[in-house]
Structure 1
C-alpha cells in the first residue's frame, strides 16, 4: 500500500466544480436530465457542508445560463460564477477562486461534456496536483461512447471515479456527523440506479 493514492475526501479540503450545466445544452445530452438531478443534490450538499462551488457557463449566447433547477438552489455565499470561452474550467478567470481556496486540494467534478470541458478541466487539475473525483452519475456527453471513453482516459490519468452517494457518505464519515440528518432528504431525492447506469 506504500505510496498508493487513496483519494480520501475531507470536508475542509474539498470543493465542487459545476461544469456548464446550461439550459440550451441539456436537451442534447445523453440522459442530460439525470446529471441535473445529481448536480442539484451536490448543490444542496454544498449548502449543508459549507463546500465552495466553482460554476462555469460556456458561451452563454449559444447555450444559455445554468439550468434554474440549480441556480435557484445555489448557496450564494459559496458560489463563484464565470462565463468562459476556454473549454477547461481552469483559466485566468478562475485563478482567484483557486487562490481563495488554496487549502482545498480535492475537487468533486461534474457536468458536461465528459470528453471536452470536463476532461480538459480534470487533466488541468491533475497537472496542478489536485485530486479529482468524477461523479459518474453526474457527468455526460451528447454521445454515450464519448462519455465512457472520457472516463477511461481520466481514470488512467489519475482521477477517481465515484458517485454522489459515495462522496457524501465519505465526507460525513459517520451517522453521528452533524450533517447526517440534514443530508438524508437530499440523498433520497434520487438513487444512483435512477441516473446514468453503468459505464
Structure 2
C-alpha cells in the first residue's frame, strides 16, 4: 500500500509544448493535477522535471503551480541527473511517477529510481506517449521489472487511508 508520509509525487516532463503530440494529453494532465492537489492536502511533496526546458518549454501551466520543486534535465532518466536524487528522501521511498513520454522518460526514470533503491509506482492514467502502443509496451516493461502499475484514484485512496482523514471531503471533491 502507498502511504502519504512515505511518498513523493513525480511529474515527469509535462511540458506544455509537448501536449499537442501526446495521445490523451489533457486526461493525463487532469489526473496528475488531481494527484498533485491531493498530495498537497496529505503532505506529499511534488517534484516536476523538465526535459531541456530552453527548447521544450516549462511544465504545463495547470501543473506548474502545484510543484514544490522543478528540476531541469538533459538525460531521459531523471534519476540520472544529480538534481532528482538530491531532492528525494529515501524515507519517502515510494515515488508515484506520472508524465510524458511513457516509453522514454517515464520508463527510464522509473527504472532509474528502482536502481537507486526507491520504490517507483506508475500511475497508468497519468502517463502518456505520442502513440498509445508505446505507452502500452512501456507499462508491460515496467511491470516486468516489478514496478507496480496503479491508477490515480488508487493512489489517492491509499494516501487517505480511510474516510476519517481530515482531507477526505476535499480530496473526494477533486475526484467527482
TM-score band by shorter chain is: over 0.9
Q: How does 1:12-161 map to 2 (within 5 A)?
A: 12-72=5-65, 74=66, 79-90=68-79, 91-98=81-88, 101-161=89-149
Instruction: Assess if the C-alpha contact under 8 Å between 2:90 and 2:118 holds in 1.
Output: no
Partner of 1:195: none
Q: Normalised by the size of structure 1, how large is the TM-score?
A: 0.84
Task: Measure, in 2, the Cα distance between the counterparts of 1:93 and 1:170.
Answer: 28
1:184 to 157, 172, 176: 172
- Structure 1 runs of 4+ off > 6 angstroms? none
Gap regions ≥5 residues in structure 1: 1-7, 189-199
Larger Rg: 1
1:109 counterpart SS class:
strand
Deviations 1:86-108 (A, max 9, x none): 1111121223202xx23111010
Q: 1:192: which partner in 2?
A: none
Displacement, 1:63?
1.5
Richer in helix (by share): 2
The count of aligned residue pairs is 175
CA RMSD, Structure 1 to Structure 2 (Å): 1.2
Structure 2 gap segments, 5+ residues each:
none
TM-score (norm 2): 0.95
- 1:75-126 Cα offsets, whole Å, 9 max, x none, are 6xxx12111101111121223202xx23111010000100000000010111
Query: Deviation per CA, 1:47-92, whole angstroms, max 9, x where unpaired?
Result: 10111112111111221111111123x16xxx12111101111121
Give how far 1:177 is off.
Answer: 1.3
